[in-house]
Amino acid sequence: MKKLSRKETAKINGGILPHQCFYTDSNGVRKIGCRLYPFQDSSGAWVYPLLECDSCTGDDL
């Protein structure tokens, strides 16, 4: 049995989507999370998150 390349492994596992990224949770485990993009608040000012990647559900803070 041959060792799979990264591209072949990504095809099998599904890879990660463009809006996803890897982050390390509070237990030190590497997980797939969502990218945090700048957004406009109610006053129209742009808010830039301190983290670039975090849990998609928001449970690991």
| Predicted local distance difference test score (pLDDT) of residue 43 | 92
| Predicted local distance difference test score (pLDDT) of residue 61 | 47
Q: How many Å apart are CA 22 and CA 56, to the nearest integer? A: 11
Q: Is residue 53 within 8 Å of 33, Cβ to Cβ? A: yes
What six digits make up the tokens of 57?
């559900």
**60 or 15, higher pLDDT:** 15
Select from 39, 5, 37, 4 the least CA-distant residue to 18: 37
What six digits make up the tokens of 22?
């890897």
Whole-model pTM: value is: 0.53
Q: How many Å apart are CA 52 and CA 22, to the nearest integer? A: 10
| Predicted local distance difference test score (pLDDT) of residue 19 | 83
The per-residue pLDDT for range 6-46, each reduced to its tens digit, is 778 777 766 777 788 888 888 888 888 888 888 899 999 99
